Structure 1
Amino acid sequence: MKATGSMQLAFALASCAPMTAHCADLGCHLSFTTTAWSALYSSAQGEGIVFCDDGSAMRVDIVEGGLGLAAGRWAITDGRGAFSGVQGIDEVVGEYVAVSANVGLIKAATVHVLAKGGISLALAGQGAGFDIGLCIGRFEVRKSAQGRR
């Protein structure tokens, strides 16, 4: 599957998340990079920027960990994400339940669909390395010490 197809699938799945009827979705997106490894346990760290349609932006740190049948070492250098169910940029911060499927040799690709209460985050990205597996864990978005952009 091409990465663009993966991104479309992930964004489509995220748009299925329930939203509250009284508030419109703010339209927030994430641009990120991560480095990761896995050998039954999966770990990733990275950074990114969340930007919303109202012009607000925030630098974030990303920490991911989980268990599963996985092995590899890779870096995602062109990661993109779309949030749904967000009314304010600060709502994107927190821990998301993550289910990820990864496969790649030389060129790595990833697709994640994450949830935190009524907020969902669909991620897709391209990079380099090798990985194969399926993991269940957490994906945490933290406000960076550098704060708002």
Structure 2
Amino acid sequence: MIRQGAMLLALATLGFAALPSHPVHAQAADLGCTMKFSLTEWSVIFKRAQGKGVITCENGASRNVEISAVGAGATVGKFKIDNGTGKFTHVHTLDDVLGSYVAGQAHMGVVKSGTVQLMTKGKVSLALAGAGEGINLGVDLSKFTIKAAK
């Protein structure tokens, strides 16, 4: 239990360290965008994930997206997340959410698996949460990419 808490604390520290440290200047209002997603992942030191989602903003804009992630760390497992959720901050146009994010992740579970991810891409940040099924344990750093669905 102490080891799990230490892993989550380390992840949170990495996530906050990756956030931009420059002052935020007045810009257009944040669009209040969220994402619903599904994701399948496997890992043995090296991690690979594929998925899809829908991003919706408070102004009514939405976009179907494809999600991929690659990374490495102290990680092993295979799991699937359905009905995951994400919340973006500092989004001023829907295109701001597209691109590659630096992601830190802590995950653990047998049969019922869970994930928490904090990531950043310049001024845009994304927090993901989800639960699913599979076997997984570890902490890793990865590149999480969101692109418009074809």
Please indicate the TM-score interval, normalised by the length of the shorter structure.
0.7 to 0.9
Residues of 2 paired with 1:84 and 1:28: CA distance?
7
- Paired position in structure 1 for 2:34: 29
Shift of 1:112: 0.2
TM-score (norm 2): 0.84
2:85 pairs with 1:80: yes
Identical aligned pairs, as a percentage? 38
Aligned equivalent of 1:137, options 138, 142, 145: 142
| Structure of higher CA gyration radius | 2
The letter for the 1-side match of 2:145 is E
Equivalent of 2:65, from 56, 60, 67? 60
Any unmatched runs of 5+ in structure 2? 1-11
Letter in 2 for 1:22: Q
8 A Cα contact 1:33 1:76, kept in partner: yes
Contact 1:20–1:85 (8 Å) recurs in 2: no
Matched position secondary structure for 1:27: coil
Work out the number of aligned pairs and report it: 134
Q: Which residue of 2 aligns with 1:3?
A: none
Give the secondary-structure state (helix, strand or coil) at the position aligned to 2:149.
strand
Q: Is 2:118 the counterpart of 1:113?
A: yes
Match of 1:7 in 2: none
Amino acid in the other structure paired with 1:41:
F
Task: Determine which structure has the larger strand proportion and give its number.
Answer: 1
Name which of structure 1's ranges 22-31 and 55-64 shifts more when overlaid on structure 2.
Answer: 22-31
2-structure distance, mates of 1:21, 1:130: 44
Aligned-residue offset at 1:19: 4.4
Match in the other structure for 1:6: none
Q: CA 1:19–1:34 in structure 2 vs 1: closer, same or farther (change >3 Å)?
A: farther
Stretches of structure 1 lacking an aligned partner (at least 5 in a row): 1-9
Corresponding residue to 2:128 among 120, 123, 126: 123
Q: Does the Cα contact within 8 Å between 1:31 and 1:80 map onto a contact in 2? A: yes
Distance 2:72 2:45 in 1: 6
Task: Find the aligned partners of 1:53 and 1:90 in 2 and give their Cα distance.
Answer: 15
Measure the CA separation in 1 of the matches of 2:63 and 2:80.
22
